[in-house]
């Protein structure tokens, strides 16, 4: 048996003190407390803490904070935006994200293939198809119908290539 099953969980003990347990659960916890010294001590400790907190003086909310909240609630959201953006809790993570995006895009840009680093397949396919049209036995008779359509794409692409 593990610790959770041997002793009642702290949350149940806290709920017992606050009177929030159902009847069946309350009787089960109480019967456990009757046998378990450790849990009884824990209940005592929680009760003490509760009484200390209850005895602590309550501080009233500063009037200027109340008026700030009321003013903010009345101001439209779009007018609060510049203030929000300038708040450190917003611009610090946003700045970090932007820096990360910049580094990532620089890295991707550096890795991207430049046109001069490779040769497209189209001129090779076009040359092969053109040769296929010269075979002794015609390949499907009108094989040139293939190369001329490839040629269109190929010539358009080559038109853009620097000489």
Partner 1 sequence: MPRIRNPTKLGRLLILLLVPALAGAEPATPDALKLLDDSLSPEVSFRGRMMVTHWFGKQTRAEEVEVYHGPGNLYRREFLSPDGIVTRVQVSDGDIEENLLVKHHKVVSGDAVKSYEKVMKPEREMELLLANYEISVSTKPDEVAGRKAWVLELKPKIAGKPWQKLWIDQEHALILENKRYLPKKRFAVLSRYSRIEVAKQLDPKLFELSLSSRAVMGGAHGLEPDFKTLEELKKATGKDVSFPLELPAGFAFESCDDIHWGPQIILHARYTDGLAVLSLFQTDKPVRLPAGATATIEAPSTKTGSIRWAVVGKVLSWQHGKHYFTLMGDVSTEVLQEISAKLK
The span from the CA of 159 to the CA of 45, in Å, is 85
Instruction: Pick between residue 93 and residue 115 the one whose CB is nearest to partner 1.
Output: 115
DSSP 18: T
- Beta-carbon contacts of residue 16 (< 8 Å; ≥ 6 apart): 26, 29, 30, 43
Instruction: Pick between residue 70 and residue 113 the one whose CB is nearest to partner 1.
Output: 113
Please give the size of the binding site for partner 1, defined by CB under 8 A.
44
Instruction: Pick between residue 5 and residue 135 the one whose CB is nearest to partner 1.
Output: 135
Using CA atoms, how far residue 14 sits from 36, 86, 117, 151, in Å, is 16, 42, 70, 81
The span from the CA of 21 to the CA of 27, in Å, is 9
**Residue 126 · residue 151 · CB < 8 Å:** yes
Task: Select the span of 26-34, 41-49, 93-101, 140-148 touching partner 1 (CB under 8 A).
Answer: 140-148
Query: Would you count residue 146 as binding partner 1 (CB under 8 A)?
Result: yes
Secondary structure class of 37 (helix, strand, coil)? helix
Query: Would you count residue 143 as binding partner 1 (CB under 8 A)?
Result: yes
Query: Would you count residue 2 as binding partner 1 (CB under 8 A)?
Result: no
**Least spacing, CB of residue 144 vs partner 1, in Å:** 6
The span from the CA of 63 to the CA of 47, in Å, is 33
Query: Would you count residue 67 as binding partner 1 (CB under 8 A)?
Result: no
- Other C-beta atoms closer than 10 Å to the C-beta of 29 total 20
Residues 98-117 that bind partner 1 (CB under 8 A): 113, 116-117
Task: Select the span of 1-9, 26-34, 95-103, 146-154 touching partner 1 (CB under 8 A).
Answer: 146-154
Q: In the complex, which residues of this chain contact partner 1 (CB under 8 A)? A: 113, 116-121, 123-152, 154-156, 158, 161-163
């Amino acid at each position: 048996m593990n610790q959770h099953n041997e002793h009642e969980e702290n949350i149940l003990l806290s709920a017992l003190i606050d009177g929030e347990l159902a009847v069946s659960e309350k009787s089960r916890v109480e019967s456990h407390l009757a046998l378990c010294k450790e849990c009884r001590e824990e209940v005592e400790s929680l009760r003490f803490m509760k009484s200390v907190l209850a005895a602590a003086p309550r501080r009233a909310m500063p009037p200027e904070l109340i008026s700030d909240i009321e003013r903010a609630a009345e101001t439209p959201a779009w007018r609060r935006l510049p203030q929000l953006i300038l708040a450190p809790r917003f611009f610090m993570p946003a700045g970090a994200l932007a820096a990360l995006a910049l580094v990532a895009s620089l890295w991707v840009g550096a890795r991207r293939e430049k046109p001069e680093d490779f040769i497209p397949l189209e001129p090779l396919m076009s040359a092969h198809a053109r040769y296929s049209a010269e075979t002794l036995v015609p390949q499907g008779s009108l094989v040139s119908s293939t190369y001329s359509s490839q040629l269109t794409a190929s010539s358009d692409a080559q038109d853009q290539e620097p000489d």
